[in-house]
Structure 1
Amino acid sequence: MLDISQIISDYGPWAIFMLVLIEDFGVPVPGETALISAALLASQGKLPIAWLLPAAWLGAVIGDNIGYAIGRLGGRRLVLRYGARVGITDERLGRVERFFARRGGVIVVVARFFVGLRQLNGIVAGIGCMAAPRFVLYNALGAALWVGLWGFGTYWFGEHFSKALKTFGPTALYIAAGLAGAAVLGYIVWWCWRRRRRPSNLS
């Protein structure tokens, strides 16, 4: 089993580049988890964020393009024949293909945020013969959004959380978290109450 924290500590941005790259052409490794962990370390000053984010983006773009090439050159039959070793089944592939049949370009962007879709979207785009320039464009955009959310977003949150902890202490943060949780719970209760009343208002 991979010790992600140790790999990140030993190899830094290079580890993120390789893990994300490998995950993005179908191999089930925890690339997203590694990116989040590395971004948290960067927020503590243990990794250079200026190298981490480009490394993750390049890994994502190159990995998906490798997947695209596999799908384009190998075809569905070859992908299923050898992909079973890394969890690419006919059922999973078919599910992603149905998504692509509706809106391929949008799926390339959005798929990156979902486990399963992220690993297969390049392969399916290749099998479906999506035009290479179009795939590269949407893939680069999706990778940038994904790295922005899980890389920079985690870094920003971690950095500000550490500062808030030093400034206000843990008690104030627990109170803030409790208030936020109460607000979310209150909204859910209000939404459910409103939904239950709606049929009676229509009758």
Structure 2
Amino acid sequence: MHVEEWLQSIPAVWVCVIVGVVIGLESLGIPLPGEVVLVSAALLSAQHAVSPVWVGVCASAGAIIGDSIGYAIGRKGGQPMFDRLGRRFPKHFGPAHIARAQAAFDRWGVWAVFFGRFIALLRILAGPLAGALRMPYWRFLVANVLGGIVWAGGTTAVIYYLGIVAERWLKGFSWVGLVAAALCGVGTTLYLKRRAARAHAVEHEGETALLP
């Protein structure tokens, strides 16, 4: 069962709660599909199954609260915590992942927290890493709140209006719309797979070059 189908089977209020909880846990540092859940809930709102306002509010609250808890955990655990996580969960917290996240913080500073909300890797690590690096909490909080609201509210609004437009368009051009959507979906999937494979190959070459 897809995420959207599962969300359709539960009451609207619980959809909003699940969105907030999943995004909050992801922001805290647990690798969960927060963005997938948010997009699915926003699509449901375009079908009038749930309020887009409440989806955006709950998603924003989950992002802000989760990142804040992650900050506290990272500040207490420090670098040793990431070392332990890297040994236990190398796929998500391996040295290469942590190094890339730290490089983003070194380059962008507090903006890494704001823009990290839009990047899968930093979305999980931004809070704990900011705490471990002893970023002043007030600076973290400002970037965290702004990033959470812009990401959650913006994603919900964009997906909601795209869903409304797509629904109206498909009513007038049903078969044309279905063919175009299918072709677009296949093309996008192939493009993303090619980019992911290319990025993986480059990363693998870089790791190989670092070996003695």
TM-score bucket (shorter structure): 0.7 to 0.9
**Matches of 2:66 and 2:86, distance apart in 1:** 15
Q: Residue 19 of structure 2 aligns with which residue?
A: 16
**Matches of 2:167 and 2:2, distance apart in 1:** 25
| Residue 72 (structure 2) pairs with residue 69 (structure 1) | yes
Q: Residue 163 of structure 2 aligns with which residue?
A: 158
In the TM superposition, residue 170 of structure 1 has moved relative to its aligned partner by 2.2
**1:9–1:15 CA distance, 2 compared to 1 (3 A):** farther
**Matches of 2:7 and 2:154, distance apart in 1:** 22
Q: Trace 1:46-125 onto structure 2 (pairs within 5 A).
A: 46-82=49-85, 84-86=87-89, 87-125=92-130
Q: Which runs of 5+ in 1 are unaligned?
A: 181-203
Q: Residue 31 of structure 1 aligns with which residue?
A: 34
**Matches of 1:62 and 1:103, distance apart in 2:** 22
Corresponding letter in the other structure for 1:25: L
**1:80–1:7 CA distance, 2 compared to 1 (3 A):** farther
Whose Rg is larger? 1
**1:8–1:122 CA distance, 2 compared to 1 (3 A):** farther
**Identity between Structure 1 and Structure 2 (%):** 34
Q: Residue 208 of structure 2 aligns with which residue?
A: none
**1:82–1:47 CA distance, 2 compared to 1 (3 A):** same
Corresponding letter in the other structure for 2:3: I
RMSD: 2.4
**Matches of 1:7 and 1:172, distance apart in 2:** 28
| Residue 130 (structure 2) pairs with residue 130 (structure 1) | no
The total of aligned residue pairs comes to 177
Q: Secondary structure at the match of 1:116?
A: helix
In the TM superposition, residue 105 of structure 1 has moved relative to its aligned partner by 1.4
